[in-house]
Amino acid sequence: MKNSAQSPRDSRKGSTYVIASEAKQSSGNVFYSLMIVIFVLPFTSVLASTDDEMMKGFSSSTGISEAEKLGTEDERLKIGGTFWTELDYYGLSTSENKQWLFNPNNLWVYGDARLRNNVRAFVKGRLIYDPVISGNAVSPLTGLTIRQFESSLDEAKLMFNAGRLVYFTVGRQKIKWGSGKFWNPTDFLNTSRREMFRSEDYRSGLTLLKTHVPIGRANLILIQDLEGASKPSLVGHAARAELALSSSEIALSAFSKTGRKAVIGLDVSFAVWDFDLYAESAYTKDVFKTVVGVSYDYKVSDSDTISFGLEYFYNGDGYTNTDLYLGAVAGGTYIPYYLSQHYGMFMIWLPSPGRLDDFTFTLFNLVNLTDHSAVSRLNVDIKLLQDIKCNLAFGVHYGNANGELRLGGQSVDLQGGLRVEF
């Protein structure tokens, strides 16, 4: 009997135990065994799964993979940049050197860290190298010194907020005030002017503490300007209040800093039928500057639109006598397109016309209304490949030979460039 009767045995499968008995056991034991299988098996599976999840992250063999770690880091930190090489030709009819060639190579590199709790840190630097310049030279167009190698820290800022009620930006940051497309008299924080024929603003930022308080449809912005402020009394202070209405916007701004005249500004923009109108004005002691402009978009077809822009600039401290131009150039105080009192710009913008989806055409017509000199320039932007863009430009100077836009005998401008973003 001992040899013929077998004792119960356990059969293991995964992390569960199935209790089976021989056919000679009683039917009651079979019933209880089946009940154990039905009720115990699901719980043991859940426990095994839970155990695997608990081990993930603690065991080197079952933890977060390197690919997952890199993916998480990529979401928090993005590193990229832009390389832009350009070849510029200037033809001068009255200069001893009638032809000038420049080859600026620009490299921007940035790091953008988006952290928890809406904290963001952003840094961007720029390097410029022009191999055709030997040491330092003087620009035949502005009289300013140009260098073979230059570097700048365009931005280095930290952004955070207090309960999404008040927003702060601390450090070197770009800022632009005003509704004008080409001239901005209310952009008084910046001491340099943006390049007229560039679609992007390549100026370096300013070291500021900016506090932004949105209040419904309004914005209140407070600025502390730390540029050159070696002591508290040299810190500049600015404020701007913006209000958005149904079809218009209005802003009032002011700025004061030791060594510079206090200035106040007002700018508005609004729509009238299909026209967008805008104006901005700035006033400082005995000097008034204003810009008025209008833009209109005409729908050529379902997919094509052509845009027109017209802008007038009155510069209260500009010259009215062309005989004073050379003194400004020689003294290093010349700022292009801010030399005279009256200017006008007419622009036509045609993006992706017809089947030319990768082309954008822009025609600029800039006139110095004080001395009657002018320049017309055609820009063509082309997407060559997915990551490569090409820019071609051709400009012609005409009008008063002694005017600002003919300084140095300017007659023809040619530019070509390639740009890659990574």
CA gyration radius, the chain: 34
* Residue 95 C-alpha from the chain's centroid: 38
Predicted local distance difference test score (pLDDT) of residue 199: 81
Helices (H), ranges, 14-148: 27-55, 66-76
* Buried residues in 115-134 as b, exposed as e (16+ CB within 10 A): eeeeeebbbbbbebbbeeee
Predicted local distance difference test score (pLDDT) of residue 415: 96
Cα distance between residue 124 and residue 156, in whole Å: 6
Predicted local distance difference test score (pLDDT) of residue 95: 61
Amino acid at 261: K
| Angle value at C-alpha 109, between 107 and 113, nearest 5 degrees | 170
Q: Output phi, psi for 43, to 5 deg.
A: -70, -40
**Tokens 């009008």 label which residue?**
399
Predicted local distance difference test score (pLDDT) of residue 82: 96
Q: Is 25 left (phi over 0), alpha (psi -120 to 50) or beta?
A: beta
Q: Output phi, psi for 236, to 5 deg.
A: -90, 155
Predicted local distance difference test score (pLDDT) of residue 66: 53
Mean per-residue pLDDT pooled into runs of 10, the chain (422 residues): 42 39 42 40 40 39 49 76 95 76 96 95 97 80 82 97 97 96 95 88 95 97 96 96 94 96 96 95 95 96 94 96 89 90 98 94 98 97 91 96 91 96 93
Predicted local distance difference test score (pLDDT) of residue 141: 73
Contact by Cβ (8 Å): 391, 417: yes
CA separation, residue 121 to residues 76, 112, 172, 226, 323 (Å):
10, 6, 11, 19, 49
Predicted local distance difference test score (pLDDT) of residue 100: 87
Predicted local distance difference test score (pLDDT) of residue 137: 76
